[in-house]
Amino acid sequence: MICSAQMQPKPDVRYRMLDTRKIKDEHRKSNFKNRKLGFTMAELLVVLAIVSLFVLMAQIHLFGLLRKSTFRAQTQELVSTMQMAASAAAETGRRYEIMIDISEQAYELKQITGSEINVDRPDETPGEVIVQNNLTENCRLVYVWFDDGIDTNTRAWFRVGPSGWQNGGKIILLDEKDQPYTIVVNRINRIVVLEEGNIELLEPKSKNDLPF
């Protein structure tokens, strides 16, 4: 009786090495893809952050313009300009002039540099313009009344020096709902304030109206 044993084939070492290399290559490629994907996500996040920053800056700028175009913002800016002129005149001894241009819906602040003021042609008074602003339809100049009884709906000049305002008076404006407001310029205490409504100031009286 002949016994034969079935021989098992020996595993090929070369195939195992090839399989191992293949696995390592695939693993390496997978890691490379993951790293590449990670870099792409990081770059995308950076781009999104930059875009968000630009959008936020645009919104802030837009909101700033909207706030600036409101009636309150524009009138407060005019009041602050006049208050700044009065304070600077008291501290430095210089003279300043605020020109209210009703026909152009604008105003400007000028530092008077000459020794003389041209009353007949005030535009020719030498000076350096510091502030120039135009008003929008939300804030409209109507007329100016001075405490010496003179009023105008074209152009007016408020001048202030070390001793105070040359003339007091009021500036009448309308908001977007046509509601009147008054900027009161007090020549006695230098104060410039914004009041709601058309404020009636004391009319100047002649000598005949004053009791002895």
Both 34 and 129 in one domain: the answer is: no
Is the pLDDT score of 1 beyond 80?
no
Q: What is the mean pLDDT of the chain?
A: 78
List the one residue out of 201, 204, 112 whose CA is nearest residue 158.
112
Same domain, 50 and 146: no
Question: Does this model's pTM top 0.85?
Answer: no
Q: What is the pLDDT of residues 112-145, one digit of tens each?
A: 987 777 666 777 788 899 999 999 989 999 999 9
96 and 42 share one domain? no
Residue 40 or residue 71, greater confidence: 71
Question: First CA to last CA across the chain, in angstroms?
Answer: 163
Provide the pairing of β-strand 127-134 with 155-161: unpaired
Q: How many CB atoms lie within 10 A of CB 13?
A: 8
Q: How many structural domains are present in the chain?
A: 2
Q: Do 83 and 130 have their domain in common?
A: yes
Q: Does a structural domain hold residue 2?
A: no
**Shared-domain flag, residues 173 and 192:** yes
Same domain, 39 and 84: no
190 with 116, same domain: the answer is yes
Q: Of 68, 90, 111, which residue sits at a domain end?
A: 68
- Same domain for 52 and 133? no
55-108 pLDDT, tens per residue? 555 554 444 544 456 899 999 999 999 999 999 999 999 999 999 999 999 999
CA neighbor of 151 nearest in space, from 139, 160, 142? 142
- One-character DSSP codes across 118-179: -SSSGGGS-EEEEEEEE--TTSEEEEEEETTS-EESSEEEEEEETTEES--EEEEEE-TT--
Domain that residue 176 falls in: 71-202
CA distances from 206 to 152, 167, 211 (A): 21, 17, 10
Last residue of a domain, one of 53, 68, 83: 68
Q: Answer yes or no: do 97 and 57 share one domain.
A: no
The highest-confidence range among 11-15, 28-32, 112-116, by mean pLDDT, is: 112-116
Q: Output the pLDDT for position 122.
A: 76
Q: Give the pLDDT mean for 187-191.
A: 87
104 assigned to some structural domain: yes
Selected residue with higher pLDDT from 42 and 1: 42
**Is 97:156 a contact under the CB 8 Å cutoff?**
no
Residue 197: strand pairing partners: none
Q: Are residues 100 and 76 in the same domain?
A: yes
Tell which wins on pLDDT, 100 or 187: 100
Domain assignment present for residue 6? The answer is no
